[in-house]
A and B are shown apart, each in its own frame.
Chain A
Amino acid sequence: MAVKAIVITNSCVGCAFCKLVCPEGAIEVIGKAEIDMQNCADCRKCVRYCPVDAIKVVEG
């Protein structure tokens, strides 16, 4: 199964942990996080570090 997308859900609180741990610099946080999937390397560090489990992997 290939990864379709990594999505930020509404529970994002804007703490920016994901931006800080992202090795690709693919995340921006202005109030809430946004992932630039073009630059995402699918390491899923953001998923592990999110304190509110707001980042979900959608498999396709």
Chain B
Amino acid sequence: MRVAVIGSGLGGLLSASILSEKGFEVDVFEKLPFIGGRFTNIEYKGFQLSTGALHMIPHGSRGPLARLLKSVGANVEIVDSKPEGEALYNGERIEIRKKTFPLRSRLKFVKLCLKSKFREVRMSEFEKGLDDFSKRFLKAFLGWSLSITTKEASFSRILPMFNQVVKLGGPGIPVGGCKSVINALSEVLLSNGGKIHKARVKGIKPGKTFSVAAREVKKYDIVISNVGHVETAKLLNNQYVQNLEPSCGIKYSIALKEPFINHTGVLFTLETRRISGMNEVTNADPNLGRGHLLMAHQPVITSNVRYEIAQGLKDIRDILKGYDYEVLAVQCYSDGWPVNRVKAGQDIGFETPYRNLYVVGDGAKGDAIEVEGIALGVENMLKKLEVSI
């Protein structure tokens, strides 16, 4: 069976390496001069910045992505966070555990879990009875992990992700950053005879087999698209999907002389205008920068990106008062690329109107945060293809 994979992002390479391991003939197509899409490193001023995602795996060595990497023989060392999370509140750092939250707020959570079995529960309903700390933590958590605000979130849709966090725990940082994951996967792919072509795919023609036009036209039994539903529909010349609302977050990469966070966990910032959290990846892998590399993240509230960035920079100035720091890069992905990114809870899944044509990656995630959702999406697709992992 011949498989074409369009796009060499995490979803594409994960699918490609697993299928090559199972004996499929795999061709990956990438239009950019490098592989990995939004999940790789880009060097800048002696720091390993990331192209999109933070250097972070939401559930560390215990999550779905780690499980798939292990099963395909991709060697990646993941440093699990310790502590899993901290909150910056009233100028103090508080470790996040179940007991950090007042009993009344925990009971409210359980109550709404039950309610959501019968009807959709909005996040605002959950927020209403919470104490100040829990309310602010909820906001920071949603902003950090999903780039959404409390107002636009649905408790019911996000509950499976909460449950994953409770079950699997906090994040981990891959040694070598995102790129080490991508390199390990491409090694597996190439060692199994798979190929990566630096070429742009111009179109897909469905039929008994799929004709994929890149530099030349070739026929494939299965096509896996890592460019999202909207772009995939364009390649097919079939508008099977419209108006998916992209999610929008801003990431700041900050160089520090002295460490600020001092551990490998996430620091949720509860009293800010925009910034929801930050992590200091050089505490897990010092080779990610000469000095310390702090990565901060915020959701976008208004439609004015310049204003949003100004607010975020003010937060950073307040938080890092007294520290010698330099903002290396501000990355925002306002609209367009990544073409496949869909707001959490609006995902339409991995299937398309065509048999044997699937979408993986950010636009086709399972019920989990960020790259863990990508791993679950790939797993679901493999189940459909009846490939056992």
Shortest C-beta distance, B255 to chain A (Å), equals: 13
Contact of A30 among B32, B44, B330, B337 (CB under 8 A): B330
Given the complex of chains A and B, what is the CA–CA distance between A32 and B306 in angstroms? 8
CB distance B44 to A31 under 8 Å?
A: no
Chain B positions 29-53 with a Cβ under 8 Å from a chain A Cβ = 32-33, 37, 42-44, 49, 51-52
CB within 8 Å of A: which B331-357 residues: 331-339
Rounded to whole Å, the gap between the CB of B342 and the closest CB of chain A is 15
Does A40 touch B at the CB level, under 8 Å?
Answer: no
Q: Given A20-B44, A51-B32, answer yes or no on A15-B306 (Cβ-Cβ < 8 Å).
A: no
In the complex, per-residue mask of B111-140: 1 if CB is within 8 Å of any chain A CB, else 0: 000000000000000000000000000000
Complexed CA–CA distance, A16 and B334 (Å): 11
Chain B residues with CB under 8 Å of A32's CB are 305, 334
- In Å, the complex CA distance between A16 and B305 comes to 14
Q: How far is the CA of A13 from the CA of B305 in the complex (A)?
A: 10
Assess the A31–B334 pair: CB atoms within 8 A: yes
Interface string of B246-261 (1 = CB under 8 A from A): 0000000000000000
Residues of A within 8 A of B332 (CB): 13-16, 29, 31
Question: B156 CB to closest chain A CB, in angstroms?
Answer: 31
Interface residues of A in 14-33 (CB under 8 A from B): 14-17, 19-21, 29-32
Name the residue of chain B whose CB is nearest to the CB of A52: B337
Are A31 and B306 in touch, CB under 8 angstroms?
yes
Quick check: is B13 within 8 A (CB to CB) of the other chain?
A: no
List the B side residues contacting A51 at CB < 8 Å.
32, 37, 337-338
Closest 6 CB pairs of A and B: A31-B305, A14-B332, A52-B337, A31-B306, A13-B336, A16-B331
Provide 18 A-B residue pairs closer than 8 Å at the C-beta atoms, listed in order of the A residue.
A13-B334, A13-B336, A13-B337, A14-B305, A15-B52, A17-B51, A21-B42, A29-B329, A29-B331, A29-B332, A30-B306, A31-B306, A31-B334, A32-B305, A32-B334, A49-B33, A51-B37, A51-B338
Interface residues of A (CB under 8 A from B): 11, 13-17, 19-21, 29-32, 48-49, 51-52
